[in-house]
């Protein structure tokens, strides 16, 4: 071990497990790429004010979890705790919304940072793949995103996840509900901080995980009973479209999310094999966010799926991903001349797209064959002085154990045909 260790709440992705993370990222991205979403990458840090305004001053993310810092130049920055505010900021900055091409559909993948109490499934550095559809109010768009996330999880082989769905209303009906909820909350036995939260953002209190708080909330008014006609119709249409697509969901009238900017459609993906960190992803509509960060009115919807927790969910269900083998051919040279020849052959194999590796470090046959075995290669090519004198190399099938001599000039073509 070196003097240093990964910082608290973080972990390294190391082969072979790291291949699972790549596969999960890829599986989540594939349906998006296939549905008109373009890839966007934004910086790992932003002006702290973007998150304060965009995520919400009263959220845990902003008040407790943000890595905020001042640069040597005096800028107030923060490591990004989530993706939506950054993506919208970038889209506005590039005037994507003015190209007459709404909605702007974007997907992203990257690292996010939250100063949280580390536990299984909850880290200070984690990874998300997300999607945002900016600038259209259309229930089909909300439905599309939910369907694509479902497709992503299913393509990975996940079965034990559930989709929770709710509507948080809009600027017509939410204020009425908000007032009713506030009235209700002020009649409860809550601590100072929670009462303060009830004043600033009462919906967030519904999301309080503490049992003594939850116990008092059973009789809380539900937004469902306050939705205006437009929100009701919108929500009904989302439900119908998802149902028609054969995607199962559960209505959860108590579902609120940790971010302030959600309106109308709100959803969460939970996996029952994960214990307390059961949310593998979530999202919803955020019609007011653009204006909150100084942009025009741009009704939008999006989600973010956690890669770390998706990997844990796969493990919980015992799903083994079919990962492509990393090495198909392993070359074992015995002697300097064979070394030069096989090194050239490995380069040739790689050029034609065959994953090939080489025994480095001047190993003897026994040690080199150990490496060949460990590499998982289907074929090993061995060559010693005698083989070279005969103009051949030995091609060994690692599954059957069969070994055949193949002409030096034929070996690449032979491997191409055998590996299909
Ligand atoms: P939670 O309620 O578990 O704190 P959240 O509402 O803060 O989740 P979001 O902001 O919706 O989470 O992020 C979307 C997804 O990103 C989550 O469903 C989860 O899979 C993942 N995620 C969020 N925070 C963490 C974290 N600290 N460590 C690992 N994954 C995380
Ligand atoms: Mg959280």
Q: What is the pLDDT of residues 300-324, one digit of tens each?
A: 999 999 999 999 999 999 999 988 7
Ligand 1 centroid to residue 279 C-alpha, Å: 7
pLDDT at 260 over 80: no
CB atoms < 10 A from the CB of 195, how many? Answer: 14
The segment(s) of the chain belonging to CATH 3.30.930.10 are: 18-173+227-317
Determine how β-strand 250-251 pairs with β-strand 161-167.
parallel
Q: Which of 107, 151, 144, 148 is nearest to 129 (CA)?
A: 107
pLDDT at 297 over 70: yes
Q: Which atom of ligand 1 is nearest to the CA of 278?
A: 3
pLDDT number for residue 22: 96
pLDDT number for residue 294: 94
- Residue 287, Cα to own-chain centre: how many angstroms? 23
What mean pLDDT comes out for the span 146-175? 95
Q: Which stretch of 110-114, 158-162, 191-195, 389-393 has the lowest confidence by average pLDDT?
A: 191-195
Q: Which residues contact 148 (CB under 8 A, 6 or more apart)?
A: 31, 32, 35, 131
pLDDT category at 201 given cuts 50, 70, 90 is: confident
Ligand in closest contact with the CA of 114: 1
DSSP state for residue 81 in the 8-state scheme: S
What mean pLDDT comes out for the span 114-123? 96
pLDDT number for residue 37: 98
Ligand in closest contact with the CA of 10: 1
Sign of the torsion angle spanned by Cα atoms 406, 410, 416, 420: negative
Rg (CA), the chain: 27
pLDDT tens digits for range 360-373 = 999 999 999 999 99
Average pLDDT, the chain: 94
pLDDT number for residue 259: 63
* 148: exposed, middle or buried (Cβ count in 10 Å: 0-12, 13-18, 19+): buried
pTM: 0.93
Smallest CA separation from ligand 1 atom 29, residue? 122
Ligand 2 centroid to residue 209 C-alpha, Å: 11
Ligand in closest contact with the CA of 279: 1
pLDDT tens digits for range 125-137 = 999 999 999 999 9
pLDDT category at 2 given cuts 50, 70, 90 is: confident
Ligand 2 centroid to residue 279 C-alpha, Å: 9
Q: How many helices (H) and strands (E) does the chain have?
A: 16, 16
What mean pLDDT comes out for the span 351-368? 96
Smallest CA separation from ligand 1 atom 7, residue? 258
Ligand 2 centroid to residue 37 C-alpha, Å: 26
What mean pLDDT comes out for the span 218-223? 94
What mean pLDDT comes out for the span 45-57? 92
- CATH architecture observed for domain 18-173+227-317: 2-Layer Sandwich (3.30)
329-419 is a CATH 3.40.50.800 domain? yes
The rounded distance, in Å, linking the Cα atoms of 177 and 227 is: 8
The rounded distance, in Å, linking the Cα atoms of 56 and 61 is: 8
> Omega of the bond prior to 16 within 30 degrees of 0, cis?
yes
What percentage of the chain has pLDDT greater than the value 70?
99
H/E element, 395:
strand 392-397
Smallest CA separation from ligand 1 atom 22, residue? 306
For ligand 1, residues with CB inside 6 Å are 82, 114, 116, 121-123, 126, 128, 257-258, 277, 279-282, 304, 306, 308-309
Residue to mutate (ligand 1; options 161, 261, 306, 316; most atoms within 8 A of CB): 306
Ligand 2 centroid to residue 408 C-alpha, Å: 59
> Omega of the bond prior to 103 within 30 degrees of 0, cis?
yes
**Which residues partner with 31 through β-bridges?**
none
What percentage of the chain has pLDDT greater than the value 90?
86
pLDDT at 326 over 90: no
pLDDT category at 258 given cuts 50, 70, 90 is: low
Q: Which stretch of 18-22, 198-202, 358-362 has the lowest confidence by average pLDDT?
A: 198-202
Q: Are 23 and 321 in contact (CB under 8 A)?
A: yes
Q: Which atom of ligand 1 is nearest to the CA of 282?
A: 11
The segment(s) of the chain belonging to CATH 3.40.50.800 are: 329-419
pLDDT number for residue 100: 79
Ligand 2 centroid to residue 210 C-alpha, Å: 14
Q: Which atom of ligand 1 is nearest to the CA of 303?
A: 14
């Amino acid at each position: 071990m070196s003097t240093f260790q990964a910082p608290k709440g973080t972990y390294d992705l190391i082969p072979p497990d790291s291949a699972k993370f790549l596969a999960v990222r890829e599986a989540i991205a594939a349906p998006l790429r296939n549905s008109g979403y373009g890839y966007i990458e934004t910086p790992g840090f932003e002006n702290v004010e973007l998150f304060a305004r965009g995520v919400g001053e009263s959220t845990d993310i902003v008040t407790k979890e943000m890595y905020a810092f001042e640069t040597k130049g005096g800028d107030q920055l923060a490591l990004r705790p989530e993706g939506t505010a950054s993506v919208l900021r970038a889209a506005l900055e590039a005037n994507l919304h003015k190209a007459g091409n709404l909605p702007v559909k974007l997907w992203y993948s990257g690292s996010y940072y939250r100063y949280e109490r580390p536990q299984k499934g909850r880290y200070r550095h984690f990874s998300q793949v997300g999607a945002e559809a900016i600038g259209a109010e259309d229930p089909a768009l909300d439905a599309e995103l939910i369907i694509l996330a479902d497709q992503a999880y299913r393509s990975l082989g996940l079965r034990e996840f559930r989709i929770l769905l709710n509507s948080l209303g809009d600027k017509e009906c939410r204020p009425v509900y908000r007032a009713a909820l506030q009235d209700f909350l002020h009649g409860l036995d809550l601590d100072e901080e929670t009462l303060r939260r009830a004043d600033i953002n009462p919906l967030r209190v519904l999301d309080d995980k503490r049992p003594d708080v939850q116990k008092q909330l059973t009789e809380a008014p539900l937004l469902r009973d306050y939705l205006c006609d437009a929100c009701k119709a919108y929500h009904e249409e989302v439900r119908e479209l998802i149902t028609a697509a054969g995607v199962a969901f559960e209505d959860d009238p108590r579902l609120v999310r940790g971010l302030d900017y959600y309106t109308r459609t709100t959803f969460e993906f939970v996996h029952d094999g994960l214990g307390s960190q059961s949310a593998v992803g979530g999202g919803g509509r955020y019609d007011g966010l653009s204006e909150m960060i100084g942009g025009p009115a741009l009704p939008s919807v999006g989600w973010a799926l956690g890669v770390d927790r998706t990997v844990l969910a796969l493990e919980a269900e015992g799903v083994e991903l079919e990962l492509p083998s990393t090495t198909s051919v392993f070359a074992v040279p015995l002697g300097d001349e064979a070394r030069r020849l096989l090194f050239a052959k490995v380069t040739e194999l790689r050029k034609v797209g065959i994953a090939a590796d080489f025994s480095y470090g001047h190993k003897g046959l026994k040690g080199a064959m150990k490496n060949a075995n460990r590499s998982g290669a289907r074929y090993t090519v061995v060559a010693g002085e005698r083989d070279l004198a005969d103009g051949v190399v030995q091609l060994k099938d690692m599954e059957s154990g069969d070994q055949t001599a193949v002409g030096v000039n034929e070996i690449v073509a032979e491997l191409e045909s055998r590996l299909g």
